[in-house]
Amino acid sequence: MSERRKKPEGGIEVEVDPGGLGGLFRGIGGLFDLVSKMVEEGREEEVHSGEKSILGGKGRAVYGFSVRLGLGGKPVIESFGNVRATESGAVVAEVREPLVDVFDEGDVLRVIAEMPGVGQEDIKIEVKDDILTISAETGDRKYYKEVLLPAPVNAQLHERSYRNGILELGLRKHLKRPGTKSDDES
């Protein structure tokens, strides 16, 4: 790391590519190779992650990405951690972005978020229409993620559990039938 500057949004600018993460997808061919290998081996998801000590051991860069095969074999790529790409290079933020999966189960959306190192009492959930906000803070662990849901949901949680760093939420969809009020209007 040849240069570090404090960023206005609370991150640290670093000159190196942490763990060679960007090198994996330098060319579009790398993505095609990864997806082809996943299909060959019958895997639906591939996750790569890592951590790197920064600022002489006073900070941590946590980074990773998930590649899932969506409908028709279309790859869905999601990053997580506290490393963000900017025009001037990689920036390490104080807040980590958890890896989040959303599953549509008919009347309910199931949301699973990986948030290790925090207690259930530290997790805050906010729901407004089709936007879910998940945040947590304890000691040196801070998480934050806004998730655009595939459908509007009720503000009240249907189910919630947190075990071994995995948060699982069940959110009931707004089911508006012709001539009736939605759950929030009654």
* pLDDT tens sequence across 20-46: 444 444 445 666 677 777 777 877 777
Rounded mean pLDDT of the chain? 75
pLDDT at 121: 93
Considering the domain architecture, whether residues 85 and 116 belong to the same structural domain is answered as no
Considering the domain architecture, whether residues 11 and 80 belong to the same structural domain is answered as yes
Q: What is the mean pLDDT of residues 85-107?
A: 83
Which one of 96, 119, 138 terminates a domain? 96
Considering the domain architecture, whether residues 103 and 159 belong to the same structural domain is answered as yes
Considering the domain architecture, whether residues 68 and 1 belong to the same structural domain is answered as yes
3-state SS assignment for residue 155? coil
Considering the domain architecture, whether residues 82 and 33 belong to the same structural domain is answered as yes
Task: Domain count for the chain, please give it.
Answer: 2
Considering the domain architecture, whether residues 30 and 66 belong to the same structural domain is answered as yes
**pLDDT bucket at 120, cuts 50 / 70 / 90:** very high
Considering the domain architecture, whether residues 4 and 89 belong to the same structural domain is answered as yes
Considering the domain architecture, whether residues 89 and 114 belong to the same structural domain is answered as no
Extended beta strands in the chain, E state: 5-6, 12-14, 45-54, 59-69, 75-86, 89-97, 99-104, 108-114, 123-128, 131-138, 141-148, 159-163, 166-172
Considering the domain architecture, whether residues 70 and 14 belong to the same structural domain is answered as yes
* pLDDT tens sequence across 55-79: 677 667 777 777 777 667 677 777 7
pLDDT at 10: 41
Task: CATH number of the domain at 131, please.
Answer: 2.60.40.790
Which one of 96, 117, 139 terminates a domain? 96
Which one of 69, 96, 123 terminates a domain? 96
> For residues 97, 98, 104 and 109, what is the CA-based torsion angle, rounded to 10 degrees?
-90
Considering the domain architecture, whether residues 178 and 122 belong to the same structural domain is answered as yes
Full domain range(s) for residue 83: 1-96
Contacts 24+ apart (CB under 8 A), 129-138: 129/153, 132/169, 132/171, 134/98, 134/100, 134/167
Phi (first) and psi of residue 57, to 5 degrees: 90, 0
